[in-house]
Homo-oligomer: A and B are copies of this chain.
Amino acid sequence: MPITNSTRTLISDCPDKIGKEVVLKGFVRVIRSHGKLVFLDLRDRSGAVQVVVNQQISEKAYKESLGLRPEFAIELIGLVKERPKTAAAKESSTGAVEIEAKDIKILSKAEVLPFDMGGPNLNLELPTLLDYRALTLRHPKIAAIFKIQETIASSFRSALKEEGFTEIFVPSIVPTATEGGAEVFSVNYYSRNAYLAQSPQLYKQIMVGVFEKVFTVAHAYRAEPSITTRHLSEYVSLDVEFGFINSWEDLMNAAEKLITSILKNVREENKNEISTLGINEIPQIKKAIPRVKLVDAQELIFKRTGMDNRNAPDLNPSDEKELCVWAKEETGAPFVFVTHFPTKKRPFYTMPDPSDQESTLSFDLLGISEEWVTGGQRINNYEQLLTHIKKWGNKKENFEIYLQAFRYGMPPEGGFALGLERVTKDILGLANVREASLFPRDMERIDERLSVINKKDKKTS
Protein backbone atom coordinates (compact mmCIF):
# COMPACT_ATOMS: atom_id res chain seq x y z
CA MET A 1 0.00 0.00 0.00
CA PRO A 2 1.20 3.54 -0.67
CA ILE A 3 2.19 5.62 2.34
CA THR A 4 -0.46 8.18 1.50
CA ASN A 5 -3.50 8.54 -0.65
CA SER A 6 -2.59 12.04 -1.78
CA THR A 7 -1.87 12.53 -5.43
CA ARG A 8 1.68 12.15 -6.59
CA THR A 9 3.49 15.31 -7.64
CA LEU A 10 5.95 15.20 -10.51
CA ILE A 11 9.38 16.56 -9.67
CA SER A 12 9.18 19.16 -12.43
CA ASP A 13 6.11 20.65 -10.71
CA CYS A 14 7.86 21.13 -7.35
CA PRO A 15 9.05 24.72 -7.96
CA ASP A 16 5.35 25.72 -8.09
CA LYS A 17 4.63 24.11 -4.72
CA ILE A 18 6.93 25.97 -2.34
CA GLY A 19 5.64 25.63 1.23
CA LYS A 20 3.45 22.66 0.35
CA GLU A 21 3.68 19.02 1.27
CA VAL A 22 4.04 16.72 -1.72
CA VAL A 23 4.22 13.01 -2.48
CA LEU A 24 7.09 12.15 -4.80
CA LYS A 25 7.93 8.84 -6.40
CA GLY A 26 11.13 8.05 -8.17
CA PHE A 27 14.58 6.53 -8.22
CA VAL A 28 17.50 7.51 -6.03
CA ARG A 29 20.24 8.91 -8.27
CA VAL A 30 22.78 9.95 -5.69
CA ILE A 31 22.97 9.61 -1.92
CA ARG A 32 25.37 11.58 0.33
CA SER A 33 25.43 11.17 4.07
CA HIS A 34 26.61 13.94 6.41
CA GLY A 35 25.97 12.70 9.94
CA LYS A 36 22.39 13.53 10.81
CA LEU A 37 21.75 14.92 7.34
CA VAL A 38 21.30 12.72 4.28
CA PHE A 39 21.05 14.26 0.81
CA LEU A 40 19.37 12.43 -2.02
CA ASP A 41 19.04 13.26 -5.70
CA LEU A 42 15.69 11.84 -6.67
CA ARG A 43 14.76 11.35 -10.31
CA ASP A 44 11.40 10.69 -11.89
CA ARG A 45 10.31 10.88 -15.51
CA SER A 46 10.03 14.67 -15.31
CA GLY A 47 13.42 15.53 -13.81
CA ALA A 48 15.49 15.40 -10.64
CA VAL A 49 15.47 17.27 -7.33
CA GLN A 50 17.48 17.37 -4.13
CA VAL A 51 15.90 15.81 -1.04
CA VAL A 52 17.20 16.62 2.44
CA VAL A 53 16.61 14.01 5.11
CA ASN A 54 17.15 15.59 8.52
CA GLN A 55 17.06 13.34 11.57
CA GLN A 56 15.75 16.26 13.64
CA ILE A 57 12.81 16.76 11.27
CA SER A 58 11.86 13.12 10.79
CA GLU A 59 13.47 10.25 12.62
CA LYS A 60 11.40 7.84 10.52
CA ALA A 61 12.54 9.21 7.16
CA TYR A 62 16.12 9.36 8.44
CA LYS A 63 16.14 5.71 9.50
CA GLU A 64 14.72 4.61 6.17
CA SER A 65 17.22 6.73 4.26
CA LEU A 66 20.16 4.93 5.87
CA GLY A 67 19.23 1.78 3.95
CA LEU A 68 19.03 3.50 0.57
CA ARG A 69 21.38 3.00 -2.36
CA PRO A 70 21.35 4.40 -5.90
CA GLU A 71 18.47 3.14 -8.11
CA PHE A 72 16.24 2.20 -5.19
CA ALA A 73 12.67 3.06 -6.19
CA ILE A 74 11.08 5.05 -3.38
CA GLU A 75 8.00 7.00 -2.43
CA LEU A 76 8.37 10.00 -0.13
CA ILE A 77 6.38 12.70 1.56
CA GLY A 78 8.17 16.00 1.91
CA LEU A 79 7.91 19.74 2.19
CA VAL A 80 8.95 21.83 -0.81
CA LYS A 81 11.34 24.54 0.41
CA GLU A 82 13.05 27.36 -1.38
CA ARG A 83 16.82 27.01 -1.35
CA PRO A 84 18.96 29.92 -0.25
CA LYS A 85 19.90 31.85 -3.39
CA THR A 86 23.56 31.06 -2.83
CA ALA A 87 22.88 27.32 -2.70
CA ALA A 88 20.49 27.17 -5.65
CA ALA A 89 21.67 24.83 -8.40
CA LYS A 90 21.30 26.99 -11.48
CA GLU A 91 21.94 24.28 -14.02
CA SER A 92 18.81 22.41 -12.93
CA SER A 93 15.24 23.54 -13.55
CA THR A 94 14.32 22.43 -10.03
CA GLY A 95 17.54 23.91 -8.61
CA ALA A 96 15.71 26.66 -6.73
CA VAL A 97 13.95 24.20 -4.42
CA GLU A 98 14.71 21.21 -2.27
CA ILE A 99 12.48 18.71 -0.54
CA GLU A 100 12.54 18.24 3.23
CA ALA A 101 11.67 14.58 3.78
CA LYS A 102 8.86 13.68 6.23
CA ASP A 103 8.47 10.03 5.36
CA ILE A 104 10.17 7.59 3.00
CA LYS A 105 9.05 4.20 1.78
CA ILE A 106 11.20 1.82 -0.22
CA LEU A 107 9.29 0.38 -3.17
CA SER A 108 12.11 -1.66 -4.64
CA LYS A 109 15.72 -2.30 -3.69
CA ALA A 110 18.69 -2.25 -6.02
CA GLU A 111 21.94 -4.15 -5.84
CA VAL A 112 25.17 -2.20 -5.64
CA LEU A 113 25.70 -0.65 -9.07
CA PRO A 114 28.59 -1.89 -11.23
CA PHE A 115 29.60 1.76 -11.91
CA ASP A 116 28.65 5.25 -10.85
CA MET A 117 25.36 6.40 -12.38
CA GLY A 118 25.12 9.65 -10.39
CA GLY A 119 27.44 11.93 -12.30
CA PRO A 120 26.50 14.26 -15.14
CA ASN A 121 28.27 11.93 -17.58
CA LEU A 122 28.42 8.19 -17.89
CA ASN A 123 32.00 7.59 -18.87
CA LEU A 124 31.73 4.07 -20.22
CA GLU A 125 33.01 2.37 -23.32
CA LEU A 126 30.30 1.32 -25.78
CA PRO A 127 30.46 -2.44 -24.97
CA THR A 128 29.86 -1.75 -21.27
CA LEU A 129 27.14 0.75 -22.12
CA LEU A 130 25.38 -2.05 -23.99
CA ASP A 131 26.23 -4.93 -21.65
CA TYR A 132 24.34 -3.06 -18.93
CA ARG A 133 21.71 -1.57 -21.20
CA ALA A 134 18.75 -1.89 -18.79
CA LEU A 135 20.72 0.18 -16.31
CA THR A 136 22.63 2.65 -18.50
CA LEU A 137 19.44 3.74 -20.29
CA ARG A 138 18.36 5.27 -16.98
CA HIS A 139 21.12 7.84 -17.03
CA PRO A 140 19.61 11.24 -17.94
CA LYS A 141 22.11 11.74 -20.77
CA ILE A 142 21.18 8.41 -22.31
CA ALA A 143 17.43 8.69 -21.71
CA ALA A 144 17.43 12.14 -23.35
CA ILE A 145 18.54 10.57 -26.65
CA PHE A 146 15.36 8.52 -26.77
CA LYS A 147 13.05 11.39 -25.84
CA ILE A 148 14.46 13.19 -28.86
CA GLN A 149 14.06 10.05 -30.96
CA GLU A 150 10.40 9.98 -29.96
CA THR A 151 10.03 13.56 -31.22
CA ILE A 152 11.65 12.67 -34.53
CA ALA A 153 9.21 9.81 -35.09
CA SER A 154 6.14 11.72 -33.97
CA SER A 155 7.10 14.77 -36.06
CA PHE A 156 7.50 12.49 -39.04
CA ARG A 157 3.95 11.23 -38.56
CA SER A 158 2.31 14.54 -37.80
CA ALA A 159 3.99 16.41 -40.67
CA LEU A 160 2.77 13.80 -43.13
CA LYS A 161 -0.75 13.54 -41.70
CA GLU A 162 -1.06 17.28 -42.22
CA GLU A 163 -0.30 16.73 -45.89
CA GLY A 164 -3.03 14.12 -46.33
CA PHE A 165 -0.90 11.00 -45.94
CA THR A 166 -2.33 7.79 -44.48
CA GLU A 167 -0.36 5.68 -42.03
CA ILE A 168 -0.16 2.02 -43.00
CA PHE A 169 1.01 -1.14 -41.23
CA VAL A 170 2.81 -3.63 -43.42
CA PRO A 171 4.34 -7.02 -42.65
CA SER A 172 8.00 -7.71 -42.03
CA ILE A 173 7.93 -11.40 -42.93
CA VAL A 174 8.22 -11.46 -46.70
CA PRO A 175 8.48 -14.09 -49.43
CA THR A 176 11.46 -12.56 -51.31
CA ALA A 177 14.51 -10.41 -50.70
CA THR A 178 13.05 -7.00 -51.57
CA GLU A 179 16.19 -5.03 -52.25
CA GLY A 180 18.23 -7.90 -53.61
CA GLY A 181 21.69 -8.75 -52.38
CA ALA A 182 22.80 -11.27 -49.80
CA GLU A 183 22.18 -9.11 -46.77
CA VAL A 184 18.91 -10.73 -45.82
CA PHE A 185 17.86 -12.77 -42.79
CA SER A 186 15.93 -15.95 -43.42
CA VAL A 187 13.08 -17.14 -41.22
CA ASN A 188 11.90 -20.67 -40.73
CA TYR A 189 8.25 -20.08 -41.63
CA TYR A 190 6.23 -23.23 -41.00
CA SER A 191 9.12 -25.29 -42.36
CA ARG A 192 9.39 -23.09 -45.43
CA ASN A 193 11.85 -20.32 -46.17
CA ALA A 194 10.80 -16.71 -45.72
CA TYR A 195 12.76 -13.51 -45.12
CA LEU A 196 12.80 -10.44 -42.93
CA ALA A 197 11.95 -7.38 -45.01
CA GLN A 198 14.95 -5.26 -45.98
CA SER A 199 12.47 -2.41 -46.31
CA PRO A 200 8.70 -1.86 -46.57
CA GLN A 201 9.32 -0.64 -50.13
CA LEU A 202 7.09 -2.95 -52.15
CA TYR A 203 4.14 -2.61 -49.77
CA LYS A 204 4.20 1.15 -49.59
CA GLN A 205 4.26 1.25 -53.39
CA ILE A 206 1.24 -1.06 -53.56
CA MET A 207 -0.59 1.22 -51.13
CA VAL A 208 -0.16 4.24 -53.41
CA GLY A 209 -2.88 2.59 -55.51
CA VAL A 210 -5.15 2.67 -52.45
CA PHE A 211 -4.45 5.89 -50.51
CA GLU A 212 -2.17 7.79 -52.98
CA LYS A 213 -0.05 9.17 -50.13
CA VAL A 214 1.19 6.80 -47.46
CA PHE A 215 3.79 6.48 -44.76
CA THR A 216 4.84 3.73 -42.42
CA VAL A 217 7.11 3.34 -39.42
CA ALA A 218 8.55 -0.09 -40.12
CA HIS A 219 11.38 -2.26 -38.93
CA ALA A 220 13.95 -3.03 -41.60
CA TYR A 221 16.47 -5.83 -41.40
CA ARG A 222 19.90 -6.00 -42.99
CA ALA A 223 22.26 -8.89 -42.41
CA GLU A 224 25.23 -6.51 -42.57
CA PRO A 225 28.30 -8.73 -42.63
CA SER A 226 30.49 -6.12 -40.95
CA ILE A 227 30.64 -3.83 -37.96
CA THR A 228 30.49 -0.12 -38.77
CA THR A 229 29.50 2.92 -36.74
CA ARG A 230 26.48 3.55 -38.96
CA HIS A 231 24.79 0.24 -39.66
CA LEU A 232 22.40 -1.82 -37.55
CA SER A 233 21.02 -5.27 -38.34
CA GLU A 234 17.54 -4.13 -37.32
CA TYR A 235 16.49 -0.50 -37.57
CA VAL A 236 13.40 1.67 -37.71
CA SER A 237 12.70 2.88 -41.22
CA LEU A 238 10.51 5.95 -41.67
CA ASP A 239 9.04 5.36 -45.11
CA VAL A 240 7.08 7.67 -47.38
CA GLU A 241 5.51 7.05 -50.80
CA PHE A 242 3.11 9.05 -52.92
CA GLY A 243 1.51 9.10 -56.32
CA PHE A 244 0.25 11.56 -58.90
CA ILE A 245 3.52 13.45 -58.74
CA ASN A 246 4.03 16.11 -61.38
CA SER A 247 7.75 15.69 -61.38
CA TRP A 248 10.27 13.72 -59.40
CA GLU A 249 11.36 17.02 -57.86
CA ASP A 250 8.10 16.79 -55.83
CA LEU A 251 9.78 13.99 -53.90
CA MET A 252 12.76 16.10 -52.91
CA ASN A 253 10.46 18.97 -52.02
CA ALA A 254 8.55 16.67 -49.69
CA ALA A 255 11.72 15.28 -48.09
CA GLU A 256 13.08 18.79 -47.59
CA LYS A 257 9.88 20.00 -45.96
CA LEU A 258 9.74 16.95 -43.73
CA ILE A 259 13.34 17.21 -42.50
CA THR A 260 12.93 20.93 -41.88
CA SER A 261 9.86 20.24 -39.80
CA ILE A 262 11.50 17.42 -37.81
CA LEU A 263 14.50 19.61 -36.92
CA LYS A 264 12.20 22.47 -35.90
CA ASN A 265 10.16 20.22 -33.63
CA VAL A 266 13.23 18.77 -31.94
CA ARG A 267 14.52 22.29 -31.33
CA GLU A 268 11.24 23.44 -29.84
CA GLU A 269 9.99 20.36 -27.99
CA ASN A 270 13.23 19.00 -26.56
CA LYS A 271 14.83 22.07 -25.00
CA ASN A 272 15.41 20.19 -21.72
CA GLU A 273 16.97 17.18 -23.39
CA ILE A 274 19.16 19.34 -25.63
CA SER A 275 20.40 21.13 -22.54
CA THR A 276 20.93 17.84 -20.67
CA LEU A 277 22.99 16.57 -23.58
CA GLY A 278 24.97 19.80 -23.72
CA ILE A 279 24.28 20.27 -27.41
CA ASN A 280 25.00 23.72 -28.79
CA GLU A 281 22.60 23.74 -31.67
CA ILE A 282 20.22 21.62 -33.66
CA PRO A 283 20.84 22.47 -37.32
CA GLN A 284 18.26 24.72 -38.89
CA ILE A 285 17.36 24.71 -42.58
CA LYS A 286 16.72 28.30 -43.66
CA LYS A 287 17.71 28.22 -47.31
CA ALA A 288 16.73 25.75 -50.03
CA ILE A 289 18.82 22.58 -49.83
CA PRO A 290 21.17 22.44 -52.86
CA ARG A 291 20.52 19.69 -55.43
CA VAL A 292 23.62 18.41 -57.16
CA LYS A 293 24.01 15.63 -59.70
CA LEU A 294 26.35 12.85 -58.63
CA VAL A 295 28.82 13.66 -61.40
CA ASP A 296 28.87 17.32 -60.40
CA ALA A 297 29.23 16.41 -56.74
CA GLN A 298 32.25 14.28 -57.64
CA GLU A 299 33.73 17.14 -59.62
CA LEU A 300 33.19 19.40 -56.61
CA ILE A 301 34.95 16.96 -54.31
CA PHE A 302 37.84 16.66 -56.72
CA LYS A 303 38.23 20.45 -56.84
CA ARG A 304 38.01 20.83 -53.07
CA THR A 305 40.09 17.89 -51.92
CA GLY A 306 42.08 16.63 -54.86
CA MET A 307 40.56 13.19 -54.29
CA ASP A 308 39.50 11.88 -57.67
CA ASN A 309 36.42 9.69 -57.33
CA ARG A 310 34.89 11.04 -60.52
CA ASN A 311 34.27 7.63 -62.00
CA ALA A 312 32.89 5.99 -58.86
CA PRO A 313 29.29 4.76 -59.08
CA ASP A 314 28.51 6.04 -55.57
CA LEU A 315 29.79 8.34 -52.85
CA ASN A 316 32.06 7.05 -50.12
CA PRO A 317 31.78 8.20 -46.48
CA SER A 318 34.48 10.85 -46.80
CA ASP A 319 32.81 12.23 -49.95
CA GLU A 320 29.56 12.53 -48.03
CA LYS A 321 31.23 14.38 -45.17
CA GLU A 322 32.94 16.79 -47.56
CA LEU A 323 29.70 17.55 -49.40
CA CYS A 324 27.99 18.37 -46.10
CA VAL A 325 30.84 20.74 -45.24
CA TRP A 326 30.43 22.37 -48.63
CA ALA A 327 26.65 22.68 -48.16
CA LYS A 328 27.10 24.30 -44.78
CA GLU A 329 29.44 26.87 -46.32
CA GLU A 330 26.92 27.57 -49.07
CA THR A 331 23.65 27.64 -47.11
CA GLY A 332 24.48 27.65 -43.42
CA ALA A 333 23.12 24.12 -43.00
CA PRO A 334 24.94 20.83 -43.69
CA PHE A 335 22.34 19.35 -46.05
CA VAL A 336 22.61 18.53 -49.74
CA PHE A 337 20.70 16.41 -52.22
CA VAL A 338 22.84 14.30 -54.51
CA THR A 339 20.88 13.11 -57.52
CA HIS A 340 21.07 10.89 -60.60
CA PHE A 341 22.80 7.81 -59.26
CA PRO A 342 23.74 5.23 -61.91
CA THR A 343 20.93 2.85 -62.88
CA LYS A 344 23.03 -0.22 -62.16
CA LYS A 345 23.65 0.88 -58.54
CA ARG A 346 19.99 1.36 -57.67
CA PRO A 347 17.26 -1.24 -57.05
CA PHE A 348 15.21 -2.61 -59.95
CA TYR A 349 12.20 -0.38 -59.25
CA THR A 350 14.11 2.90 -59.71
CA MET A 351 12.98 5.09 -62.61
CA PRO A 352 15.70 5.65 -65.22
CA ASP A 353 16.21 9.23 -66.33
CA PRO A 354 14.28 9.49 -69.65
CA SER A 355 17.14 11.59 -71.04
CA ASP A 356 19.85 9.10 -69.97
CA GLN A 357 18.96 5.47 -69.31
CA GLU A 358 22.25 4.88 -67.46
CA SER A 359 21.20 7.35 -64.81
CA THR A 360 18.14 7.44 -62.52
CA LEU A 361 15.65 9.89 -61.08
CA SER A 362 16.99 9.08 -57.64
CA PHE A 363 18.47 11.04 -54.80
CA ASP A 364 20.19 10.80 -51.47
CA LEU A 365 19.77 13.58 -48.97
CA LEU A 366 23.03 13.92 -47.09
CA GLY A 367 22.61 15.34 -43.61
CA ILE A 368 25.33 16.55 -41.21
CA SER A 369 27.87 14.00 -42.44
CA GLU A 370 26.17 11.07 -44.16
CA GLU A 371 23.12 9.76 -46.03
CA TRP A 372 19.90 10.52 -44.16
CA VAL A 373 17.30 9.92 -46.81
CA THR A 374 17.32 7.83 -49.94
CA GLY A 375 14.58 8.03 -52.50
CA GLY A 376 13.46 8.56 -56.02
CA GLN A 377 10.80 8.10 -58.61
CA ARG A 378 9.73 4.50 -59.26
CA ILE A 379 8.91 2.73 -62.47
CA ASN A 380 5.10 2.77 -62.65
CA ASN A 381 4.72 1.11 -66.05
CA TYR A 382 4.03 -2.61 -65.76
CA GLU A 383 6.01 -3.71 -68.83
CA GLN A 384 9.02 -1.61 -67.95
CA LEU A 385 8.95 -3.03 -64.44
CA LEU A 386 8.89 -6.60 -65.79
CA THR A 387 11.91 -5.85 -67.96
CA HIS A 388 13.80 -4.45 -64.99
CA ILE A 389 12.94 -7.36 -62.71
CA LYS A 390 14.40 -9.73 -65.30
CA LYS A 391 17.44 -7.54 -65.94
CA TRP A 392 18.19 -7.42 -62.20
CA GLY A 393 18.21 -11.23 -62.12
CA ASN A 394 14.87 -11.63 -60.34
CA LYS A 395 11.85 -13.70 -61.30
CA LYS A 396 8.52 -12.03 -61.81
CA GLU A 397 6.87 -15.01 -60.05
CA ASN A 398 8.43 -13.75 -56.82
CA PHE A 399 6.67 -10.39 -57.05
CA GLU A 400 3.12 -11.46 -57.83
CA ILE A 401 1.15 -9.19 -55.46
CA TYR A 402 3.54 -6.28 -56.06
CA LEU A 403 3.19 -6.56 -59.83
CA GLN A 404 -0.61 -6.60 -59.53
CA ALA A 405 -0.47 -3.02 -58.31
CA PHE A 406 1.14 -1.98 -61.60
CA ARG A 407 -0.84 -4.31 -63.83
CA TYR A 408 -4.00 -2.54 -62.66
CA GLY A 409 -2.98 1.08 -63.01
CA MET A 410 -0.41 3.04 -61.03
CA PRO A 411 0.12 6.79 -61.46
CA PRO A 412 3.61 8.33 -61.56
CA GLU A 413 4.92 7.88 -58.03
CA GLY A 414 7.91 7.80 -55.78
CA GLY A 415 9.06 8.13 -52.24
CA PHE A 416 11.89 7.99 -49.80
CA ALA A 417 13.00 6.58 -46.45
CA LEU A 418 14.92 7.77 -43.40
CA GLY A 419 16.63 5.61 -40.80
CA LEU A 420 15.37 6.74 -37.40
CA GLU A 421 18.49 5.76 -35.47
CA ARG A 422 20.88 7.32 -37.97
CA VAL A 423 19.04 10.64 -37.98
CA THR A 424 18.97 10.60 -34.17
CA LYS A 425 22.71 9.88 -34.07
CA ASP A 426 23.60 12.72 -36.42
CA ILE A 427 21.33 15.36 -34.90
CA LEU A 428 22.85 14.64 -31.51
CA GLY A 429 26.41 14.19 -32.73
CA LEU A 430 26.73 10.66 -31.36
CA ALA A 431 29.77 8.67 -32.41
CA ASN A 432 27.98 5.39 -33.10
CA VAL A 433 24.49 4.56 -34.35
CA ARG A 434 24.24 1.94 -31.57
CA GLU A 435 23.96 4.78 -29.07
CA ALA A 436 20.76 5.83 -30.84
CA SER A 437 19.10 2.41 -30.58
CA LEU A 438 17.57 1.27 -27.28
CA PHE A 439 18.61 -2.33 -27.87
CA PRO A 440 20.90 -2.41 -30.94
CA ARG A 441 21.30 -5.54 -33.04
CA ASP A 442 24.44 -6.31 -34.96
CA MET A 443 26.45 -9.36 -35.93
CA GLU A 444 28.03 -9.48 -32.48
CA ARG A 445 25.06 -8.71 -30.25
CA ILE A 446 21.42 -9.43 -29.48
CA ASP A 447 21.21 -7.66 -26.12
CA GLU A 448 24.13 -9.73 -24.87
CA ARG A 449 27.23 -10.36 -26.91
CA LEU A 450 26.65 -13.41 -29.07
CA SER A 451 29.93 -14.98 -27.95
CA VAL A 452 28.54 -15.03 -24.39
CA ILE A 453 25.22 -16.49 -25.53
CA ASN A 454 27.08 -19.15 -27.48
CA LYS A 455 29.05 -20.22 -24.43
CA LYS A 456 25.81 -20.66 -22.54
CA ASP A 457 24.43 -22.85 -25.28
CA LYS A 458 27.46 -25.06 -24.97
CA LYS A 459 27.06 -25.30 -21.24
CA THR A 460 23.49 -26.51 -21.55
CA SER A 461 24.02 -28.93 -24.43
Residues of B contacting A203 with CB < 8 Å?
Answer: 438-439
Q: Report, nearest first, the 6 A-B pairs whose CB atoms are least far apart.
A: A110-B409, A134-B404, A73-B411, A134-B405, A71-B409, A45-B212
Residues of B contacting A153 with CB < 8 Å?
Answer: 167, 169
Residues of A186-215 whose CB lies within 8 A of B = 186-190, 192, 194, 196, 203, 206-207, 209-213
Interchain CB contact under 8 A, B71 and A408 = yes
Cα distance A219–B437 when bound, in Å? 17
Binds B, one of A52-60, A342-350, A395-403: A395-403
Interchain CB contact under 8 A, B134 and A206 = yes
Residues of B contacting A397 with CB < 8 Å?
Answer: 456
Interchain CB contact under 8 A, A438 and B169 = yes
Q: Which of B192, B212, B398 contacts A454 (CB 8 A)?
A: B192
Residues of A206-261 whose CB lies within 8 A of B = 206-207, 209-213, 217, 219, 221, 223, 233-234, 236, 243-244, 246
- A72's closest neighbor in chain B, by CB? B409
Residues of B contacting A111 with CB < 8 Å?
Answer: 382, 407-408
Decide if A38 is an interface residue (CB 8 Å cutoff): no
Interchain CB contact under 8 A, A401 and B233 = no
- Contacts A192-B454, A460-B395 given; indicate if A412 touches B172 (C-beta within 8 A): no
Interchain CB contact under 8 A, A408 and B175 = no
Binds B, one of A274-282, A284-292, A440-448: A440-448
Smallest Cβ distance from A132 to chain B, in angstroms? 6
Interchain CB contact under 8 A, A25 and B175 = no
- A154's closest neighbor in chain B, by CB? B167
Q: Which of B132, B170, B196, B439 contacts A438 (CB 8 A)?
A: B170
Listed residue (A8, A246, A402) with the most chain B CB atoms within 10 angstroms of its CB:
A246
Cα distance A25–B243 when bound, in Å? 10
14 further A-B contacts with Cβ under 8 Å, apart from A107-B244, A186-B188, A187-B188, are A44-B212, A72-B409, A107-B412, A108-B380, A134-B206, A153-B167, A169-B438, A171-B441, A173-B221, A173-B234, A185-B187, A192-B450, A395-B460, A401-B448
Smallest Cβ distance from A163 to chain B, in angstroms? 11
Residues of A70-129 whose CB lies within 8 A of B = 71-73, 75, 107-111, 113
- Mind listing 13 A-B residue pairs with CB under 8 Å? A45-B211, A110-B408, A111-B408, A132-B404, A133-B401, A134-B209, A135-B405, A149-B169, A153-B169, A170-B439, A187-B187, A189-B446, A398-B456
Decide if A326 is an interface residue (CB 8 Å cutoff): no
Decide if A2 is an interface residue (CB 8 Å cutoff): yes
- Contacts A45-B211, A234-B172, A236-B169 given; indicate if A411 touches B164 (C-beta within 8 A): no
Smallest Cβ distance from A230 to chain B, in angstroms? 17
Smallest Cβ distance from A223 to chain B, in angstroms? 7
- Contacts A25-B411, A411-B108 given; indicate if A234 touches B171 (C-beta within 8 A): yes
Contact digits for A285-307, partner B, Cβ 8 Å, 1 yes 0 no:
00000000000000000000000
Decide if A64 is an interface residue (CB 8 Å cutoff): no
Cα distance A242–B299 when bound, in Å? 55
Residues of B contacting A410 with CB < 8 Å?
Answer: 73, 108
Cα distance A25–B395 when bound, in Å? 33
- Contacts A108-B381, A109-B409 given; indicate if A138 touches B210 (C-beta within 8 A): yes
Residues of B contacting A149 with CB < 8 Å?
Answer: 169
Contact digits for A421-457, partner B, Cβ 8 Å, 1 yes 0 no:
0000000000000000111110100111010011010
How many chain copies does the complex carry?
2
Decide if A373 is an interface residue (CB 8 Å cutoff): no
Decide if A146 is an interface residue (CB 8 Å cutoff): yes
Decide if A309 is an interface residue (CB 8 Å cutoff): no
Smallest Cβ distance from A226 to chain B, in angstroms? 11
Decide if A147 is an interface residue (CB 8 Å cutoff): yes
- A109's closest neighbor in chain B, by CB? B409
Cα distance A141–B440 when bound, in Å? 40
Decide if A31 is an interface residue (CB 8 Å cutoff): no
Listed residue (A72, A109, A190) with the most chain B CB atoms within 10 angstroms of its CB:
A190
- A169's closest neighbor in chain B, by CB? B236
Cα distance A209–B137 when bound, in Å? 8
Residues of B contacting A441 with CB < 8 Å?
Answer: 171, 173
- A444's closest neighbor in chain B, by CB? B190
Residues of B contacting A395 with CB < 8 Å?
Answer: 456, 460
